[in-house]
Amino acid sequence: MLLGEEPGYDGFLTVRRRRYRLADGREADWDVFGPALSAGVMGGVAVLPLTPDGRIVTVRMFRAGPDQVVTNLPGGLIDPGEDPVDAGRRELEEETGYTCESIEVVGWMWSGSSSVYRKYVAIARGCRPDGKQSLDDFEDCVPVELTPAEFRTELRTPGAMTGTDAAYVALDHAGLL
């Protein structure tokens, strides 16, 4: 049972300390994180973009956590009031320059075991590089098309990808596992 919450760090991500009463009566503090509370964002989206010939559009970009360039599915935070489908379509074009004929949210998960926001998983079909890439100041996304076999190899290679949970969910829903 949640007993209370107090602020911690508030930057791009917010960390808050929550106090819980456990089932055995003990109390414990846990740090939970999510997007900055001031931004009003309550979720994110990851998109599995499929081209007409069945290739998967990924992005290669530097990530500070692993301190290296990794492969990702395109995605990002959902703007306040934005529908996850619309956010997926927007993030796909912003990060890759690809547009899609259709996009469907196929599920969601908690972004992490200490996270307070949902990560939605979407599949975009009919993706083509006919849009305009529009990166944030410190994004360095390089779009890369992979075959499903190449993508599954990336998933199995330790440290090569982030967001593997969303990738597996999307592949399963797309029948590509």
What single letter denotes the amino acid at residue 118?
R
> Tens-digit pLDDT profile for the chain (177 aa)?
989 988 888 776 778 888 989 999 999 998 887 766 555 566 899 999 999 999 999 999 999 889 999 999 999 989 888 999 999 999 999 999 999 999 999 999 987 777 777 899 999 999 999 999 999 888 899 999 999 999 999 999 999 999 999 999 999 999 999
CA distance 63 to 55: 24
What single letter denotes the amino acid at residue 26?
R
- Residues with Cβ < 8 Å from 174, sequence gap 6 or more? 48, 50, 123
- Residues with Cβ < 8 Å from 27, sequence gap 6 or more? 3, 19, 20, 21
pLDDT score, position 80:
86
pLDDT score, position 114:
75
pLDDT score, position 118:
85
Instruction: Please measure the distance between the N-terminal and C-terminal CA atoms of the chain and give it in whole angstroms.
Output: 38
User: What pTM does this model have?
Assistant: 0.87
- What element of type H or E holds 56? strand 56-63
What single letter denotes the amino acid at residue 162?
T
